[in-house]
Amino acid sequence: MIHRLSARLADDREIIYFDESPDETRILVDPRDLPKVESTSTVRYDQLTGEWVGIAGHRQTRIYHPPANQCPLCPSTAENQSEIPSPEYDVVVFENRFPSLSGSGSPAEVKELFTVAPGNGRCEVVCFTSDHNATFSHLTPERVGTVIEAWADRTVELSRQPGIEQVFCFENRGAEIGVTLAHPHGQIYGYPYVTPHTAAMLRQVEKHREASGRNLFGDLIDAEIADGSRIVAQNEHWVAFVPFAGRWPVEVQVFPRTRVPDIPALSTQQRLALAPIYLEVLRRMEGVFADTLPAISAWHQAPVSQGREDFWLHLQIFTIRREVGKLKYLAGSESAMGAFVNDIPPEVAAQRLRDAS
């Protein structure tokens, strides 16, 4: 059983400890003298694409590649008073000091040609371990289980916040991806709108339902299992495969075999079975290239108030590594036109993953 303890940092941001033992003692008082976080975030509506764009100029001053002995995500010491006051922790979540979105209120609405709305929402940091030199792939299954419980807890809480339309749990990994803090951590965004990628999936799901009466996600999962050429790993409750139209050099999607809309809806059995396959996929990806693995792990959850009856929770893990010493850059076709070109056929990527130790 995970033990949850909430407190406040010196500037009134919330911090939550998720402990694996009831006997742990945490220091809750933050001794730092911090000014209250002042967010200037707004969202602007792009009439040409029908998408919202966040504007957060205050993030230019966020912490950038500090030395290890000044890491803000390590437990606090006498020499380094970090974001976590306690000298040790299992998993901890706290409000981002430099949030892309902040505040609560009504969802963003399009009102005129140049629509600007408050950048309401919430941005949180999830520290997976107090070990500065660890990676998610080398956590124990038990620790991954604690992280899953933290994601579920935060998804429920953020979904209740006025104005939040979608909750996104994710991890950016590696300097090549743009990570500015080396400590193993992820983030959670509560958006004041449904994100473009999710909106596109919802349109396709609705179209398929109208045409066939079936769930598009379910049909795709069944087809991937029947084909088999892109399956990477599976167990009783989960299946992992390289998608047929994968955009990234190595990309894996991990689906529960039984549909649920989001992480909180996972059963105890699904949660227990998730950690081993999650770790297996990450370790196989690390084994494909004898190089670093700049990667993104992204949880696709149903929006708070739409599409929940058909949306199928899934995890997407992909790397921009296309070869040793080479990265895939989003150049003209991808960045300007949104038209991806993948250098590695998905079937080849799947075979490499199966061959990786």
Residue positions in the annotated binding site for Zn(2+)? 71, 74, 132, 183
231: β partners: 241
- Is there a contact between 87 and 17 (Cβ–Cβ < 8 Å)? no
Q: Which residues are marked as active site?
A: 185
Q: How far is CA 19 from CA 23, 88, 125, 131, 235, in A?
A: 9, 10, 16, 15, 28
- Is there a contact between 184 and 138 (Cβ–Cβ < 8 Å)? no
| DSSP designation for 135 | -
Q: How far apart are CA 235 and CA 92, in angstroms?
A: 29
Residue 344: which H helix or E strand, with range?
none
Binding residues: 71, 74, 132, 183
Helix (H, G, I), strand (E, B) or coil at 127: strand
Q: How far is CA 153 from CA 2, 18, 193, in A?
A: 11, 10, 21
**Edge-to-edge strand list for the sheet holding 42-46:** 51-55, 42-46, 116-118
Q: Is 149 left (phi over 0), alpha (psi -120 to 50) or beta?
A: alpha
